[in-house]
Amino acid sequence: MMSRSYKRRNKQRLDALLVLVFLVIYLEIIHRGYFLLYLLATIVLILVYKLFVKFKTYIRINNPKLKYIDGMTGLEFEKCVANLLRSQGYRHVTITERYDYGVDIIAEKDEIRWGVQVKRNSNLVKAIAVRQVVTALKKYKCDRAMVVTNNKFSHVAEELARSNDCILIDRTKLYKWVRTAN
């Protein structure tokens, strides 16, 4: 899984490359005297790029498969996430008992035993979900924690997860799992 800093560096590199390309084109156009044409083309390209990014985000968030997930019960969502974990290469995936103390699923990957908290929510997932799974790790003899949701996480939940080495799978990452599972 790519880290946020890795993605940010790649995006910065892409932005720098685009600026460099536009600068070279800009200098060539000024040299030939087509400044207004270049300016218009640049504005059109920026608008097309922004619309493309918005469209990709819209498709990812409003994906029919995720809409189906939004209508599941909590137990159905746990079973769905268990299947998605299997498709992501996790082994020995089991759903815990009904009163699970904060770990809904136990799974193994690369000799790491994961405790997974599953939250199907219509609102932001709060820090309590991270607290629950992190504190239940020892009870289930797990090495690492993960929280999976069909929504997004609050900033406090993200900060708590970072400080406890807990992986957060939000709606965007869940969409990627669903897409690769098919």
- Residue ranges of domains in the chain: 4-62, 65-181
DSSP, res 140: T
Are 94 and 105 within 8 A, CB to CB?
yes
Poorest-pLDDT segment among 25-34, 66-75, 83-92? 25-34
Using pLDDT thresholds of 50, 70 and 90, give the confidence band for residue 106.
Answer: very high
Q: Which residue in the block uniquely carries the two structure tokens 């939004």?
A: 70
- What are 142-181's pLDDT values in tens digits? 999 999 999 999 999 999 999 999 999 998 899 888 888 7
Q: Which residue has the higher pLDDT, 108 or 3?
A: 108
Q: Tell me the DSSP string of 45-106.
A: HHHHHHHHHHHHHHHHHT-HHHHHHHTS-HHHHHHHHHHHHHHTT-EEEEE--SS-TT--EE
CATH fit for domain 65-181, picks 3.20.20.70, 3.30.200.20, 3.40.1350.10, 3.40.1080.10: 3.40.1350.10
Does residue 1 surpass a pLDDT of 60? Answer: no
Coil vs helix vs strand at 147:
strand
Mean pLDDT of 103-126: 94
Distance (Å, whole) CA 136 – CA 145? 9
Mean pLDDT of 6-35: 70
Distance (Å, whole) CA 154 – CA 161? 11
Using pLDDT thresholds of 50, 70 and 90, give the confidence band for residue 50.
Answer: confident
